[in-house]
């Protein structure tokens, strides 16, 4: 049984733009998936279907059950979604309150939430930031805290949209190392194919709202012709000659 | 659209709508503090009563959220701005602005979201209502305040009608700016495909 | 960069004022501001008493005088305008007239202006000291603890959280516009300003929706969750009560004199 199974997912915005034109893909437990594609391919829209925020036609199954049959809180706790802009996910006055937001909504007591949040903050190397105001942090720190806010809900699947966007090389390395060390199955949407290669076992190429190929990362990302056809380029480390 | 049972679909939509009320309201309060500062930085301190920069975000926000949130934004924006930047001055302007903006926000919300009137119409109506509230408040202050508090009102306000006319004439450029900018922004915002619309916002 | 040092700039210092519980500070500040605003016009020296209290607190707080002065300076145009208008208010009777440097001023109007200007200045000073010596997070929690409805603290919390970010965005737009050369003419300037404000507002709506998505993705159910806060130390509560009593006593004495 796949952890996530999407079958012919279609989604059209109210103004008529079709964002997803029949997406089919599967994610196996323990095999991280990189979702790659050019701008406007539909990556971010697709991610919003995985935790039930958006509903299209077709089937989205998490752990074998259709998302419609999942109670909302359980689904959001199972599929943790980390969005692209960290500053738009850190809206509480302090880092600790932000990380506690999820667990408190899950029904933990304030003390339990505090304990869990401090553990998670420690695991992402941000424990000393607990009392700080989130918007006074550096970009890399904000990324780690944003990750912590979702990890605190103990999701089974971690879905991340552009984890290393706009980070300097040092920050990028830190975040990649952090993600590599996480036990959860990951779905990572990104342009940064080097990072996808480093972190993901499988890759799915999304273009114009449809998945055009899905397979092992090292194979697909080495196929330059395939990538070019969908607005991408083979990462430098896989280029021959 | 796939069949939606009670659990994930409508619940998340309702929760998103409420979350959006808070985030929109809060961020536009911040804009209500920032935009006047920007005006100040570019144009100097005399431009406030002329261009009414604080009114722009309050009016736009009013048309995007529920009446209660809109009124709260109308109250909190001048209060926060006064506490952080000193403008509007605590006396006599702040109470007047709180009343005017709170009522304007609520009216804009009711007219645009409940009565579904277009922004182009709602804006002038709301501005007129706002000026009327201002006039009523000054009138109320003059009629109801005990003599020694009355003495602390600046002389121009002792004649409410004259004051209102004067304040409105001074603010004509600002009122014009609202009439042009507010419907334009509301139209821009409402035309984009947003996540919540998919869930029946 | 606009609005970047309005809050939390000096909240990390360790003065006695900084170390006071936020709820005590907020309550005392509120009581003091109410007393300031309620001071009758004919009691200018009562305002002086409040000023002395505030200056003492300012001294104890260790906040840089320059920073405080900069914050108060925003009122200068307003104060200057009012002061310059004074000579234009004619005295009502000869007994009301005041000779000052060759000008005949209305004594009543001058007193009123002193009162209004003084109140604005002192209220702003109180707010500046409070926000200077307390983190915004602690202030919000204090407001909630003192009974302010959660919706209002939530809205204010969001406003505070994104104040600097929005100020930065606005600052960047202004800088970018300036780099493209000066715009001549008020009408064109107004159009440019209008379009920048419009862009800022649309971007803010998009940001607000991203924030709402993040809230929902983390299980938001219509109520902002809150962590528990420990009780304030009894000594501080007692000190706060003493302060409130002192303010009340001074006010009573001042009004009765």
Beta strands in chain B (DSSP E): none
* Number of other CB atoms surrounding residue C14 within 10 Å: 8
Average pLDDT over residues B63-68: 96
Residues of chain A with pLDDT under 50: none
- Whether residue B175 lies inside any domain: the answer is yes
pLDDT band (50, 70, 90) for residue B14: confident
Residues 6+ apart with CB under 8 A from C197: B35, B53, B56, B181
Q: H or E stretch including A10?
A: strand A4-12
- Whether residue B4 lies inside any domain: the answer is no
Contact partners for chain A, using 3 or more CB pairs closer than 8 A, are B, C
| Phi, psi of A61, deg, nearest 5 | -115, 130
Task: Find out whether A210 and A56 touch, Cβ atoms under 8 Å.
Answer: no
Residues 115-174 of C with CB under 8 A from B: 115-116, 119-120, 123-124, 127, 131, 151-152, 154-163, 166-167, 170-171, 174
% of chain B beyond a pLDDT of 90: 48
The sign of the torsion formed by the CA atoms of C218, C220, C221, C224 equals positive
**Residue where the block lists tokens 């199974």:** A5
pLDDT in tens, B23-36: 999 999 999 999 98
CB of B34 within 8 Å of any CB in chain A? Answer: no
Task: Find out whether A36 and A188 touch, Cβ atoms under 8 Å.
Answer: no
| Phi, psi of A22, deg, nearest 5 | 110, 70
The sign of the torsion formed by the CA atoms of A25, A28, A29, A32 equals negative
Task: Find out whether C36 and C123 touch, Cβ atoms under 8 Å.
Answer: yes
B100-116 b/e (C-beta count within 10 Å ≥ 16 → b)? bbbbbbbbbbbbbbeee
Task: Find out whether A221 and A197 touch, Cβ atoms under 8 Å.
Answer: yes
Task: Give the pair of three-digit tokens for residue C194.
Answer: 């209008």
Distance CA B11, CA B4 (A): 10
Distances from the Cα of C80 to the Cα of A146, B52, B92, C110, C235, angstroms: 47, 20, 16, 13, 43
Q: How many interface pairs between A and B have CB atoms less than 8 angstroms apart?
A: 56
Report pLDDT for C228. Answer: 80
Task: Find out whether B112 and B67 touch, Cβ atoms under 8 Å.
Answer: no
Task: Give the pair of three-digit tokens for residue A241.
Answer: 């000659």
Instruction: Inspect the interface and report whether the beta carbons of B76 and C152 lie closer than 8 Å.
Output: yes
Domain CATH number, residue B187: 1.10.1760.20
- Name the residue in chain C with its Cα closest to that of A51: C217
Map C65-85 to HEC letters: HHHHHHHHHHHHHHHHHHHHH
- Whether residue B89 lies inside any domain: the answer is yes
pLDDT in tens, C221-230: 888 888 887 8
- On the question of pLDDT at B1 being above 80, the answer is no
The total number of residues shown for chain C amounts to 257
Q: Which domain holds residue B106?
A: 9-199
- Whether residue B114 lies inside any domain: the answer is yes
pLDDT band (50, 70, 90) for residue C185: low
- Whether residue B1 lies inside any domain: the answer is no
**Residue where the block lists tokens 């002086």:** C48
Report pLDDT for A17. Answer: 83
pLDDT in tens, A73-84: 899 999 999 999
pLDDT in tens, C85-99: 777 776 666 666 666
Residues 6+ apart with CB under 8 A from A25: A6, A33, A204, A211, A214
**Contacting residues of A for C161, CB less than 8 Å apart:** 90-93, 133-135
Report pLDDT for B10. Answer: 47
Distance CA C136, CA C124 (A): 16
Report pLDDT for B97. Answer: 93
Bridge partners (DSSP) listed for residue A189: A35, A161
CA of B86 vs chain C CAs: smallest distance (Å): 6
Instruction: Inspect the interface and report whether the beta carbons of C165 and A87 lie closer than 8 Å.
Output: yes
Closest by Cβ to C2, choosing from B25, B38, B69: B38
Average pLDDT over residues C165-183: 84
* Number of other CB atoms surrounding residue A150 within 10 Å: 26
Mean pLDDT of chain C: 86
- Whether omega before B161 lies within 30 degrees of 0, making that bond cis, reads no
Closest by Cβ to C207, choosing from A51, A88, A100: A88
CB of A72 within 8 Å of any CB in chain B? Answer: yes
Helix-helix angle B160-170:B172-191, to 10 degrees: 60
Task: Find out whether B193 and A15 touch, Cβ atoms under 8 Å.
Answer: yes
Task: For A44-104, give the DSSP string.
Answer: HHHHHHHTTSS--EEEEEETTEEGGGS-HHHHHHHEEEE-S-GGGT--SSSHHHHHHHHHH
CA of B22 vs chain A CAs: smallest distance (Å): 11
**Residue where the block lists tokens 């014009």:** B176
Helix/strand/coil for C207: helix
Report pLDDT for B50. Answer: 76
Residues 28-57 of A with CB under 8 A from B: 48, 52-57
Task: Give the pair of three-digit tokens for residue A176.
Answer: 């990649």
Bridge partners (DSSP) listed for residue A81: A159
Closest by Cβ to A114, choosing from C140, C210, C227: C227
Mean pLDDT of chain A: 91
- Whether residue B2 lies inside any domain: the answer is no
CA of C222 vs chain A CAs: smallest distance (Å): 10
The sign of the torsion formed by the CA atoms of A153, A154, A157, A161 equals positive
The sign of the torsion formed by the CA atoms of C165, C168, C172, C178 equals positive
Report pLDDT for B149. Answer: 63
The total number of residues shown for chain A amounts to 241
Helices (H), C100-233: 107-133, 136-145, 150-179, 186-217
pLDDT in tens, A189-201: 998 899 999 999 9
Q: Residue B136 — left, alpha, or beta (φ > 0 → left; ψ -120 to 50 → alpha)?
A: alpha
pLDDT band (50, 70, 90) for residue C1: low
SS3 content of chain C, % helix, strand, coil (to 5): 75, 5, 25
Distance CA A180, CA A187 (A): 12
- On the question of pLDDT at C102 being above 90, the answer is no
Q: How many domains does chain B have?
A: 1
- Whether residue B3 lies inside any domain: the answer is no
Task: Find out whether A90 and A143 touch, Cβ atoms under 8 Å.
Answer: no
Residues 6+ apart with CB under 8 A from A205: A36, A37, A211, A212, A213, A214, A220, A226, A227, A230, A232
- Whether residue B79 lies inside any domain: the answer is yes
Domains along chain A with CATH numbers? 4-238 (3.40.50.300)
First to last CA, chain A: 41
CB of B7 within 8 Å of any CB in chain C? Answer: no
Task: Find out whether A146 and C214 touch, Cβ atoms under 8 Å.
Answer: no
Distance CA B18, CA B10 (A): 12
- Give the ipTM of the model, two decimals please: 0.92
**Contacting residues of C for A94, CB less than 8 Å apart:** 137
Report pLDDT for B151. Answer: 62
Task: Find out whether A159 and A47 touch, Cβ atoms under 8 Å.
Answer: yes
**Residue where the block lists tokens 């007239």:** C97
Task: Find out whether C29 and C126 touch, Cβ atoms under 8 Å.
Answer: yes
């Amino acid at each position: 049984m796949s952890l996530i199974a999407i079958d012919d997912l279609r989604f059209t915005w109210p103004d008529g733009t079709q964002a997803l034109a029949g997406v089919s893909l599967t994610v196996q437990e323990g095999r991280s998936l990189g979702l790659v594609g050019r701008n406007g391919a539909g990556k971010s829209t697709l991610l919003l279907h995985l935790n039930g925020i958006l509903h299209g036609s077709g089937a989205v199954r998490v752990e074998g059950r259709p998302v419609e049959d999942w109670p909302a809180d359980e689904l959001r706790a199972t599929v943790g979604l980390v969005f692209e802009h960290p500053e738009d996910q850190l809206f509480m006055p302090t880092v600790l309150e932000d990380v506690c937001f999820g667990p408190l909504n899950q029904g933990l007591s304030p003390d339990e939430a505090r304990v869990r949040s401090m553990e998670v903050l420690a695991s992402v190397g941000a424990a000393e930031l607990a009392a700080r105001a989130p918007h006074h942090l550096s970009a890399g720190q904000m990324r780690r805290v944003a990750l912590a806010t979702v990890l605190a809900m103990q999701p089974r699947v971690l879905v991340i949209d552009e984890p290393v966007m706009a980070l300097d090389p040092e920050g990028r390395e830190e975040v990649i190392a952090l993600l590599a060390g996480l036990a959860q199955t990951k779905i990572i949407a990104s342009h940064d194919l080097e990072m996808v290669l480093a972190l993901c076992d499988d890759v799915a190429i999304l273009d114009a709202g449809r998945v055009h190929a899905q397979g092992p990362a090292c194979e697909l990302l080495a196929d330059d012709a395939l990538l070019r056809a969908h607005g991408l380029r083979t990462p430098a480390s896989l280029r021959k000659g | 659209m796939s069949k939606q049972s009670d659990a994930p679909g409508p619940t998340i939509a309702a929760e998103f709508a409420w979350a959006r009320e808070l985030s929109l309201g809060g961020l536009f309060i911040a804009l209500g503090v920032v935009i006047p500062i920007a005006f100040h930085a570019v144009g100097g301190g005399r431009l406030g009563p002329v261009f009414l920069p604080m009114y722009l975000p309050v009016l736009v926000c009013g048309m995007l959220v529920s009446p209660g949130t809109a009124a709260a934004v109308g109250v909190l924006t001048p209060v926060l701005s006064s506490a952080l930047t000193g403008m509007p001055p605590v006396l006599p302007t702040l109470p007047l602005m709180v009343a005017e903006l709170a009522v304007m926000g609520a009216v804009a919300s009711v007219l645009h979201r409940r009565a579904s009137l277009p922004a182009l119409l709602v804006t002038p109506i709301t501005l007129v209502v706002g000026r009327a509230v201002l006039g009523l408040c000054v009138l109320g202050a003059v009629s109801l305040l005990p003599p020694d508090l009355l003495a602390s009102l600046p002389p121009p306000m002792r004649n409410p009608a004259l004051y209102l006319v004067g304040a409105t004439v001074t603010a004509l450029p600002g009122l014009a700016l609202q009439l042009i900018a507010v419907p334009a922004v509301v139209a821009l915002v409402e035309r984009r495909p947003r996540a919540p619309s998919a869930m029946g916002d | 960069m606009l609005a970047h040092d309005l809050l939390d700039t000096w909240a990390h210092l360790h003065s006695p004022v900084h170390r006071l519980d936020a709820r005590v500070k907020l309550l005392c500040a509120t009581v003091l501001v109410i007393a300031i605003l309620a001071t009758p016009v004919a009691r200018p020296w009562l305002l002086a008493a409040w000023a002395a209290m505030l200056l003492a607190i300012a001294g104890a707080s260790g906040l840089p005088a320059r920073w405080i002065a900069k914050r108060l300076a925003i009122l200068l145009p307003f104060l200057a305008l009012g002061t310059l208008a004074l000579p234009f208010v004619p005295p009502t009777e000869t007994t009301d007239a005041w000779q000052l440097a060759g000008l005949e001023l209305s004594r009543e109007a001058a007193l009123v202006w002193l009162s209004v200007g003084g109140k604005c200045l002192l209220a702003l000073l109180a707010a500046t000291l409070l926000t200077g010596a307390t983190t915004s997070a602690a202030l919000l929690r204090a407001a909630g603890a003192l009974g302010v409805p959660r919706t209002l603290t939530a809205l204010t919390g969001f406003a505070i959280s994104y104040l600097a970010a929005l100020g930065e965005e606005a600052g960047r737009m202004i800088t970018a516009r300036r780099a493209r050369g000066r715009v001549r003419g008020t009408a064109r300037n107004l159009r440019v300003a209008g379009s920048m404000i419009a862009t800022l507002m649309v971007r803010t709506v998009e940001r607000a929706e991203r924030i709402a998505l993040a809230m929902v993705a983390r299980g938001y159910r219509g109520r902002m969750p809150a962590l528990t806060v420990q009780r304030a130390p009894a000594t501080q509560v007692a000190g706060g009560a003493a302060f409130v009593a002192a303010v009340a006593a001074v006010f009573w004495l001042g009004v009765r004199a």
